Amino acid sequence: MEANRLIEMLLEHPGQYISGEEISRRLSISRTAVWKQIAKLREEGYEFESAPRRGYRLIRQPDKLSQAGLLHALQGNRIFGRRLKLLESTPSTQEEVRKLAEEGAPHGTLVLAEEQTAGRGRQGRRWYSPPGKGIWMSLLLRPERQPLSIAPQLTLLAAVAVCRAVRKVGGVDAGIKWPNDILVGGRKLCGIIVESVAEDELIRFAVAGIGIDVNLEANDIPQELSPIATSLSLESGRRIDRITLIGAVLTEMEQLYELYTQEGFAPVSHLWEALSVTLGREIAVHTPNGVLKGTATGLDPSGALLLLDQDGKHFTIFSGEVQLGG
């Protein structure tokens, strides 16, 4: 608790020294207790510079998610991530959020885990989520009295938010493959899954699951996935601070969700199209009813993908796996 408040205090003054005396005063603990807290934080991987009379300065945060660091990164948000649960290991953050949702957790509740032991990707596939190197998180959305039909729009909204955050923090040229894969150089960096629970025609809640391969190194990626998967550090050539990226994703999500509730899907659709690597390209889509080939031309107002085939026939695709390059 005191360690959290100490970290927050140091994060509020990045790069600056704070004297032991001031820490002692502001936390109402003895100088010896301050020293003990600093020692404890060093054990957790925090690095400090200390200088006589000047006090302590935070140099580096550990490569570990901390409640304090997360709350600091999310303090600009009004709702998303303000309630958060950080887990060392969990079968799946999606399941965690679903349970919390059934117990009445509010809109914007976030669950993060250092590791998922049974992370799920789209269509029941496993999502490889090794400890400490990625962002594995799920966000609870409670749209107010919205019909079920908007669920695909939430999927696209999440893709836009994550793609924008990854581009900003990682400085990479990430794009979206319909509906919600984030790619860099044709390889997948991030998977998104939105699960919705509806009652008759109304959404009760939705859970946006976001998995980002942040600091995975080449040998962290299972061999069979290496032609199609990458990580943000591999693409940007540097370690990425996960907490900064989490903060950026949640900020983008909150802003975009607010825009969406106020203005509807059109502006989200516009942003999605601008980031898309699917549109204007020859693609093959594996749908439940077979494979369709043609050029992706845009999104329809519901979020479905529009396709124009060689014979000039138009198709509206609600569900399927897109393969780029036909």
Q: How far is the CB of 41 from a copy of itself (least distance, A)?
A: 39
Restricting to residues 97-116, name those near a copy of itself by CB under 8 A: 102
> Distance between CA 22 and CA 4 in Å, rounded?
16
Q: Is 15 in the site for a copy of itself (CB under 8 A)?
A: no
Q: CA-based angle 277:112:245, to the nearest 5?
A: 50
Q: Is 142 in the site for a copy of itself (CB under 8 A)?
A: no
Among 70, 111, 151, 174, binds a copy of itself (CB under 8 A): 151
- The full 3-state SS of 218-270, as one line of letters, equals HHHCCHHHCCCECCHHHHHCCCCCHHHHHHHHHHHHHHHHHHHHHHCCHHHHH
Q: Is 121 annotated as a binding residue?
A: yes
Q: Is 120 annotated as a binding residue?
A: yes
Q: How far is the CB of 144 from a copy of itself (least distance, A)?
A: 8
Read off the DSSP letter of residue 66. Answer: -
Q: By 3-state DSSP, what share of the chain in percent is helix, strand and coil, each rounded to 5?
A: 35, 30, 35
Q: Is 117 in the site for a copy of itself (CB under 8 A)?
A: no
Instruction: For a copy of itself, give the closer residue by CB, 53 or 145.
Output: 145
Which residues neighbour 219 within 8 Å (Cβ) at sequence distance 6 or greater?
Answer: none
Count, in order, helices (H) and strands (E) of the chain.
9, 14
Contact at 8 Å (CB) between 151 and 143?
no
Q: Is 122 annotated as a binding residue?
A: yes
Q: How far is the CB of 204 from a copy of itself (least distance, A)?
A: 8
Among 39, 44, 318, 326, binds a copy of itself (CB under 8 A): 318
Contact at 8 Å (CB) between 248 and 137?
no
C-alpha distances (whole Å) from 223 to each of 117, 210, 228, 229, 318 are 19, 22, 10, 10, 32
Among 51, 118, 202, 274, binds a copy of itself (CB under 8 A): 202
Restricting to residues 19-58, name those near a copy of itself by CB under 8 A: none
Instruction: For a copy of itself, give the closer residue by CB, 43 or 144.
Output: 144
- Region binding a copy of itself by CB under 8 A among candidate stretches 7-15, 18-26, 69-77, 199-207: 199-207
Q: Is 84 in the site for a copy of itself (CB under 8 A)?
A: no
Beta-bridge partners for 306: 298, 316
Among 28, 53, 103, 123, binds a copy of itself (CB under 8 A): 123
Contact at 8 Å (CB) between 51 and 17?
yes
Q: How far is the CB of 316 from a copy of itself (least distance, A)?
A: 11
Q: Is 204 in the site for a copy of itself (CB under 8 A)?
A: yes
C-alpha distances (whole Å) from 61 to each of 36, 45, 65, 212 are 18, 7, 9, 20
- Region binding a copy of itself by CB under 8 A among candidate stretches 61-69, 148-156, 164-172, 232-240: 148-156
- Region binding a copy of itself by CB under 8 A among candidate stretches 64-72, 109-117, 126-134, 139-147: 139-147
Among 108, 170, 179, 294, binds a copy of itself (CB under 8 A): 179
Burial degree of 109 (CB within 10 A; 0-12, 13-18, 19+): buried
Binding site feature residues for biotin = 116, 120-122, 188
* Residues lying near a copy of itself in the complex (CB under 8 A): 95, 102, 122-123, 144-149, 151-152, 155, 179-180, 193-202, 204, 288, 318-319
